[in-house]
């Protein structure tokens, strides 16, 4: 289970909508399963079907998390024209099994669909995402 405040949740959706029709991406951090910080990161691939976080921004986000004593809780990205489920690429590139993978479908940008998953050794499990 992952708890996320409505303000951060809405900021994540706004970031992903702003990136549309490209995939947007970023990180969520906090203590013990409760998101406290959003880190939008540029997609250096500038692609509508794949993402790769801009390295300098990724490192800065991780360093800030560590400085604040927070842990990486989730990695989020959008599927501009796909479902809110992990693609084969998402599964293959899930290198942080401790982090929840949040995928936001923007097939209908005004009604985004959100899925949350744990991906460990190629196995995908749904995670409950609670917006409070």
Residue 29 has a pLDDT of: 98
Residue 96 has a pLDDT of: 93
Summarize pLDDT for 42-54 with one digit per residue, the tens. Answer: 999 999 999 999 9
Whether the CB-CB separation of 23 and 77 falls below 8 Å is answered with yes
Which H or E run includes 77? strand 71-79
Summarize pLDDT for 11-29 with one digit per residue, the tens. Answer: 999 999 999 999 999 999 9
d(CA 63, CA 83): 32
Q: What is the mean pLDDT of residues 68-97?
A: 96
The CA-based angle 35-65-121, given to 5 degrees, is 70
Point out the residues that are catalytic: 23
Whether the CB-CB separation of 75 and 35 falls below 8 Å is answered with no
Q: What is the mean pLDDT of residues 40-68?
A: 97
Split at pLDDT 50, 70, 90, the class of 32 is confident
Q: Looking at the 3D structure of the chain, how many domains does it have? A: 1
CATH of the domain at 76: 3.40.140.10
Mean pLDDT estimate for the chain = 97
SS (H, E, C) 14-67: HHHHHHCCCCCEEEEEECCCEECEEEEECECCCCCCCCCECHHHHHHHHHHHHH
- Structural domain including 50 reads 2-131
**pTM (predicted TM-score):** 0.96
Whether the CB-CB separation of 3 and 116 falls below 8 Å is answered with no
């Amino acid at each position: 289970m992952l708890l996320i405040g409505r303000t951060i949740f809405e900021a994540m959706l706004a970031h992903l909508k702003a990136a549309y029709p490209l995939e947007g991406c970023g990180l969520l951090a906090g203590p013990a399963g409760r998101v406290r910080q959003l880190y939008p990161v540029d997609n250096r691939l500038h692609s509508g079907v794949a993402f790769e976080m801009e390295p300098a921004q990724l490192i800065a986000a991780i360093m800030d998390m560590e400085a604040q004593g927070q842990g990486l809780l989730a990695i989020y990205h959008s599927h501009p024209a796909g479902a809110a489920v992990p693609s084969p690429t998402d599964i293959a590139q899930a290198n942080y099994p401790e982090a929840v993978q949040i995928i936001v479908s923007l097939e209908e940008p005004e009604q985004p669909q959100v899925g949350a998953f744990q991906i460990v050794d190629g196995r995908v499990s749904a995670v409950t995402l609670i917006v409070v």
